[in-house]
Structure 1
Amino acid sequence: MQTTHLSLFDDDNKRAEARSRKAMRAAGFVSALKGAMFRAAKSSPLSRDQIVDEMNALAAAAGRRLTQGRAKCIARDTLDKWLSSEEAEHVPGMYAVHIFCLAIDDPSPLCFWLESGFGIQTAEPETLKLAEFARGVLEHKLRTKRQRRLEEELMSNLEGTR
């Protein structure tokens, strides 16, 4: 009988460890997303009834449903369940979260989704402008450095021909 000994560094163990880390992140995702939606709704100037009306209007204008059932629109109690961390069985779909964010004009629940699942950080327009400026400064420095190096090479070539 042949036994196989696995090292801590085997690919299977690395994949299992990575899967375990992802599973831990995923375990609390739904309640955390609902919490992000709750906070966004709470800070919105719209009441929950107004949010429902706006979500239904946006979905109707797009020709889409917010739920998988036969209902053409959602009711206030559906939104309340989506915003409640305790209502584990009532989870908004991806499209519903998107429409919710559009209705309240707040992308923070979607930003949370990207950050918690994938570590993707979102940035404000001002931050993007600063990053573009910094990139331009660094590119200019790199061009200047290349120009100096080329100048030195040309100078040494000219001095060598004399």
Structure 2
Amino acid sequence: MHQLSLFDDTATRLGDLDAAIARAMRQAFARCGKSKDEIVDAMNAVADRGRFKLTKGNAKALTVATFEKWLSVSERHHIPPTRAINVFCEVVQDYNALRIQLHVHGADIMTPKDKKLRDYGEIVIKDRKTKRDKRKLEEELL
């Protein structure tokens, strides 16, 4: 039986998820070298091309004011929708906000290199199993 922690369970991680995403987005914004206006314009352009909204409610487009609220850890009433987080990550080319969402569930982002390593590992394991099966058959034949 596994002892559950009072401080590291899914409910606790989910409780801090919004603030953790805001921190990751704020850090990604600081590192990307773009202004808030540039990011908002780029996000709105993606939404226009995809014919979807980034915000809830009646707003037709994302504003800098709303974007600033999304970056605030203390702002509990203005949470970016999942689609907006995805668009933000693409615009700034930083996927830590998505990674944080996955970590809550014990998962992570798989990069193309990670996928190749996984595929390679599967082939190695299959090859070893095939060799083992081949040896068993050879022993039975002799």
Shorter chain as denominator, the TM-score bin is 0.7 to 0.9
State yes or no: 1:147 paired with 2:134.
yes
Distance apart, 1:36 and its partner CA: 1.1
Of residues 51, 57, 63, the one that matches 2:45 is: 57
RMSD: 2.1
* Unpaired stretches in structure 1, ≥5 consecutive residues: 1-8, 10-16, 156-162
Distance apart, 1:96 and its partner CA: 1.3
What is the DSSP-based 3-state SS (H/G/I as helix, E as strand, rest coil) of the residue aligned with 2:9? helix
Q: In structure 2, do the counterparts of structure 1 residues 60 and 128 end up closer, same or farther at CA, with 3 Å as the change threshold? A: same
| Alpha-carbon distance in 1 for matches of 2:110, 2:28 | 17
Cα deviation code 1:117-143 (max 9, x no counterpart): x11122332222222222212211111
Residue matched to 2:79: 91
| Alpha-carbon distance in 2 for matches of 1:60, 1:101 | 17
User: 1:151 is matched by which residue type in structure 2?
Assistant: E
User: Bigger radius of gyration, 1 or 2?
Assistant: 1
Of residues 22, 28, 33, the one that matches 2:16 is: 28
| Alpha-carbon distance in 1 for matches of 2:21, 2:75 | 12
| Alpha-carbon distance in 2 for matches of 1:148, 1:91 | 59
User: 1:25 is matched by which residue type in structure 2?
Assistant: R
Of residues 119, 122, 131, the one that matches 2:106 is: 119
User: 2:137 is matched by which residue type in structure 1?
Assistant: L
Q: TM-score of the superposition, structure 1-length normalised?
A: 0.77
| Alpha-carbon distance in 2 for matches of 1:21, 1:131 | 28
| Alpha-carbon distance in 1 for matches of 2:9, 2:120 | 36
Corresponding residue pairs, total: 138
Instruction: Point out 4+ residue stretches in structure 1 off by more than 3 angstroms.
Output: none
Residue matched to 1:132: 119
* Unpaired stretches in structure 2, ≥5 consecutive residues: none
Q: TM-score of the superposition, structure 2-length normalised?
A: 0.87
